[in-house]
Amino acid sequence: MTEIKNIGGFCDTDDTGYIINTACTRKISPAFHQVLNEMIQYYRMQLGKNLHSIYVRGSVPHGQAIYSVSDLDTLAIVNEEVDSMDLQWVEGIEQKINEKFPCINGVEFSFYLMEDVLETSTFSIIPFMLKTHSVCVYGEDLISLLPSYRADKTLANHHLINLKNQVDQAKKDLDDNYDTEDILDCCSWIMKIIVRAGLTLVMVEEKRYTRDLYPAYKLFSQYYPEKEPEMKLALQYAIEPITDTEELLHFLEQTGTWIITEAEEWLEIYNPYRVSEMELR
């Protein structure tokens, strides 16, 4: 069993509570330059004039990436509707790059319409991730055009409003599933969601946010010490997923049901009308 390490921290904030984006191209380790440049070239070659700009998010632009462990997640802003684009090339290119570069655990190409990204009257996760966790590596940088964000109820709501549906989807995907890779992916996905949901239950009080799992688990446990062992197990499953679907379904039935109940109580207080994405204040 992988040892759970104290890795990560909370986002920096300014004097008014707005999250500070500490991502920077200078922090990208030279070990990742070649793979990033290759991804940029594929974006340019495949998208042509449709490509507006490219961003990198996560541990890599924060200088916290771990060789052969971290992913390289990129976002492309495009001028045309994503649904109308031919993206059949993506899966094959991702696989090719993953096999070519041992420095990364995996790469991700993703695509978002510029018009949608710049519509920020309500909270949306992509503008949030660009503003707070990403750096532009190609094209015209849109980050300065996006609003600033606090660790408040609008952000917490994003993590909690669909929690029940996500847990239910995980149960459905795991039931009678014998595909090892699919089970591992589902396990890691839903456990990350649960750990981050735990953090967001106390976000309004704490006014702190992180994408990192360990500090999220620790802060949650300060408020819910009786649930610490269960959240620690969720963290363990997130970083070292298992294939025992019976064990996973039992966990989701027990801990998953509990955290859904807590989320519903939170929503009843802060979002009683169950607005999907709340207006930014």
Q: What is the pLDDT of residues 76-118, one digit of tens each?
A: 999 999 999 999 999 999 999 999 999 998 999 999 999 999 9
State the CB neighbour count (10 A cutoff) for residue 173: 18
Is residue 133 packed enough to be buried (19+ CB in 10 Å), middle (13-18) or exposed (0-12)? Answer: buried
Residue 1 has what pLDDT?
Answer: 62
178-211 per-position pLDDT tens digit = 999 999 999 999 999 999 999 999 999 999 999 9
Identity of the residue numbered 15: D
* Separation of alpha carbons 17 and 94, rounded Å: 37
**Fold (topology level) of 25-145:** Beta Polymerase; domain 2 (3.30.460)
Q: What per-residue confidence (pLDDT) applies to 41?
A: 98
Q: Is 112 helix (H, G, I), strand (E, B) or coil?
A: strand
- Indicate yes or no: pTM above 0.85: yes
- Packing angle of the helix pair 180-200, 257-270 (nearest 10 deg): 40
Task: Write the pLDDT tens digit of every residue in 248-267.
Answer: 999 999 999 999 999 999 99
What is the pLDDT, as a whole number, of residue 69? Answer: 83
**How far, in Å, are 17, 76, 99, 225 from residue 237 at the CA level?**
32, 30, 25, 19
Helices vs. strands in the chain: H and E counts, helices first: 12, 5
SS3 274: coil
Tens digits of residue pLDDT in 44-76: 999 999 999 999 999 999 999 989 989 999 999
**Counting Cβ atoms within 10 Å, is residue 271 exposed (0-12), middle (13-18) or buried (19+)?**
middle
State percent of the chain over pLDDT 70. Answer: 99
- Token reading at 18: 């707005």
Helix (H, G, I), strand (E, B) or coil at 279: strand
- In the chain, the DSSP E strands lie at 51-57, 71-78, 106-108, 111-113, 134-139
**What is the per-residue DSSP string for 48-86?**
GGGEEEEEEESSGGGT---TTTSEEEEEEEESS-GGGS-
Cα–Cα dist 24/27, whole Å? 5
pLDDT of residue 2: 66
The per-residue pLDDT for 112 is 98
Distance CA 215, CA 225 (A): 14
- Region 121-135 average pLDDT: 97
